[in-house]
């Protein structure tokens, strides 16, 4: 469950909000709005990369407003991917699970599922600089999905994919979330499909 | 004016900059060639086979390497802190001090500092002793490593470190596991430049460590000692060894970063 209470956040020079919303566990929310409307800033305050102006954020019933990002246990895929340039694709994909001390056998099992689904098997030993834009984006997504988070925040994760790959990735994301009961907040300019809620954000409202 | 003549009339700037670049390169090459032409491989070999010069070379290499390694451990967090705190104006000025300080003054300030409490207690183990060489080279290495690492960290948006924190890292582990490797090229460059500077440091070492043969003598003080006894050919041969060492480290840097 994600709950914002009187949530105000800063985007550029503006304080946006107040934002009172609730997402039930397992719901898939599609968030859209014009460029510069504060969507990315909202997501970054949620994951703890920026401080909110005021208000409270509750995840799984717990107030996490001032918790460090690692304690929020959110899977976040930023718009720009942000891969670790000196690591191989495989090392990027396993970074989070290794950090959380997941046993190696389990890491490898999850890795094989994700690499197959996102068509990354052939580039595991390559470095990010050797990947296409679409591959980089799928690595950024796969790196988070391997961690199997129960809350997933996606900031335009398929913009660099062609239409066929975009459909495949979205299909996989939907089944991944449904099977595991993951709560998803998905920012995208695409038309929403198979979602529970569609919110439009415009200057924080 | 047609396009062709416009292009021709702009060529003078390319010729001017090229002229400056070539003139400077000729000056540098002539300086090195003058030294190299003033000695022979057999003179270099004969200097290097003297026990006191070998001891000096050993201390130079050991102190430069240890000081550079220690300096990087300090310089990386210092550079990160300064880069992330934009209002660190006074800190910036203090960090730049070793660059504007004449080398002799750097040594003198360390010498005076070691006469003051509580550092005075350490003076018998440092001043005119081998550790003073390490101390001076450490200060020199940090002062040269910090600006290079700051430039490297300033190019790094910090997003990778943020992502590592979202993925479960503490601030410290994100810095060590992500920021440090992401700035690998900057670290190699800082290490090489700092090491090359350490190898050639003279003034502050002379003030704090003296120039005792077989004890605190390093290559730069060997050159000084050879000159004071009027042995120009040994001084030149040692200088060529010093240039070769520094040149080798710079060439390694270029190859590593290619």
Average pLDDT over residues B213-219: 91
Nearest in space to B146 (alpha carbons), one of B100, B82, B70, B61 = B82
B167 to A144: CB separation less than 8 angstroms, yes or no: yes
Omega before residue B118 within 30° of 0, cis:
yes
Nearest CB partner across the interface for B166, out of A47, A80, A100: A47
Computed on alpha carbons and rounded to an integer, the radius of gyration of chain B in Å comes to: 22
> B156 with B175: CB under 8 angstroms?
no
Sequence-separated (6 or more) residues with CB below 8 Å from residue B103: B201, B202, B203, B204
| Interface residue of B156, B159, B161, B167 to substitute, partner A, most A CBs within 10 Å | B167
Long-range Cβ contact pairs of B105-108 (< 8 A, separation 24 or more): B106/B136, B106/B139, B106/B140, B106/B203, B106/B204, B107/B136, B107/B203, B107/B204, B107/B205, B107/B206, B107/B207, B107/B208, B108/B204, B108/B207
- Cα separation, A33 vs B43, whole angstroms: 77
A70 to B162: CB separation less than 8 angstroms, yes or no: no
Residue A204 has pLDDT above 60, yes or no: no
pTM: 0.83
DSSP A75-94: EEE-TT----TTS-HHHHHH
Q: Write the pLDDT tens digit of every residue in B141-183.
A: 999 999 999 999 998 888 999 999 999 999 999 999 999 999 9
Of B7-21, B102-116, B148-162, minimum mean pLDDT range: B7-21
> A7 with A57: CB under 8 angstroms?
yes
A2 at the B interface (CB within 8 A)?
Answer: no
| Mean pLDDT, all residues of chain B | 90
Q: Write the pLDDT tens digit of every residue in A93-107.
A: 999 999 999 999 999
The partner residues of A56 in beta bridges, in order of sequence, read A5
Q: Where are the alpha helices (DSSP H) in chain B?
A: 3-37, 41-48, 51-84, 89-100, 103-113, 123-126, 130-155, 159-166, 171-174, 180-182, 184-200, 203-209, 219-228, 232-257
Q: Find the residue in A nearest to B178 (Cα).
A: A84
The partner residues of A154 in beta bridges, in order of sequence, read A77, A186
B181 to A84: CB separation less than 8 angstroms, yes or no: yes
For residue A154, which residues of chain B lie inside 8 Å, CB to CB? none
- ipTM for the predicted complex comes to 0.93
Max Cα distance, chain A (Å): 48
What is chain B's length?
258
Nearest CB partner across the interface for A70, out of B160, B169, B182: B169
What residue has token string 């460090």?
A: A68
Give residue A16's pLDDT: 86
Of A20-29, B60-69, B247-256, minimum mean pLDDT range: B247-256
Residue B87 has pLDDT above 90, yes or no: no
- Cα separation, A127 vs A88, whole angstroms: 4
What residue has token string 């050919």?
A: B233
Nearest CB partner across the interface for A84, out of B171, B173, B182: B182
Alpha-carbon separation of residue B161 from A21, A71, A137, B179 (angstroms):
30, 16, 18, 6
Residue A205 has pLDDT above 60, yes or no: no
Residue B2 has pLDDT above 70, yes or no: no
- Burial of B17 (C-beta count, 10 Å sphere; 0-12/13-18/19+): exposed
| Of the ranges A31-35, B17-21, B47-51, the best mean pLDDT one | B17-21
Q: Write the pLDDT tens digit of every residue in A159-173.
A: 899 999 999 999 999
């Amino acid at each position: 469950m994600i709950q914002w209470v009187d949530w105000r956040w800063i985007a550029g020079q503006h304080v946006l909000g107040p934002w009172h919303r609730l997402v039930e566990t397992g719901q898939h929310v599609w968030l859209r709005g014009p460029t510069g409307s504060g969507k990315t800033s909202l997501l970054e305050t949620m994951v703890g990369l920026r401080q909110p102006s005021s208000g409270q954020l509750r995840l799984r019933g717990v107030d996490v407003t001032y918790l460090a990002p690692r304690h929020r246990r959110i899977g976040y895929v930023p718009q720009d991917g942000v891969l670790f340039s000196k690591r191989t694709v495989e090392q990027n994909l396993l970074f989070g699970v290794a950090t959380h001390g997941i046993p190696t056998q389990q890491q490898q099992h999850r890795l094989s599922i994700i690499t197959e689904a996102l068509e990354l098997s052939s580039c595991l030993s390559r470095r990010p600089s050797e990947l296409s834009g679409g591959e980089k984006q799928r690595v950024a997504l796969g790196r988070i999905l391997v961690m199997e988070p129960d809350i997933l925040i996606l900031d335009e994760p398929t913009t660099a994919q062609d239409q066929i790959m975009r459909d495949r990735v979205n299909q996989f994301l939907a089944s991944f979330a449904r099977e595991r009961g993951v709560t998803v907040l998905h920012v995208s300019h695409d038309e929403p499909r198979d979602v529970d809620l569609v919110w439009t954000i415009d200057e924080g409202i | 004016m047609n396009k062709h003549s416009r292009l021709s009339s702009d060529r003078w700037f390319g010729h001017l900059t090229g002229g400056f670049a070539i003139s400077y390169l000729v000056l540098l090459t002539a300086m090195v060639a003058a030294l190299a032409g003033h000695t022979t491989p057999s003179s270099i070999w004969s200097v290097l086979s003297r026990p006191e010069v070998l001891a000096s070379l050993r201390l130079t290499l050991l102190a430069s390497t240890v000081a550079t390694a220690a300096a990087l451990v300090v310089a990386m967090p210092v550079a990160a802190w300064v880069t992330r705190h934009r209002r660190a104006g006074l800190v910036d000025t203090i960090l730049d001090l070793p660059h504007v300080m004449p080398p002799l003054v750097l040594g003198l300030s360390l010498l005076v500092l070691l006469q003051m409490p509580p550092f005075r207690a350490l003076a018998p183990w440092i001043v005119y002793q081998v550790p003073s060489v390490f101390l001076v080279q450490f200060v020199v290495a940090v002062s040269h490593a910090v600006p290079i690492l700051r430039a490297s960290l300033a190019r790094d948006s910090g997003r990778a470190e943020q992502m590592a924190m979202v993925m479960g890292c503490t601030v410290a582990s994100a810095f060590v596991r992500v920021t440090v490797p992401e700035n690998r090229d900057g670290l190699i460059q800082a290490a090489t430049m700092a090491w090359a500077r350490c190898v050639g440091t003279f003034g502050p070492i002379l003030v704090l460590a003296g120039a005792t043969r077989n004890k605190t003598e390093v290559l730069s003080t060997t050159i000084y000692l050879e000159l004071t006894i009027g042995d120009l050919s040994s001084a030149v041969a040692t200088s060529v060894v010093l240039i070769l060492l520094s040149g080798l480290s710079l060439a390694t840097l270029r190859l590593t970063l290619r």
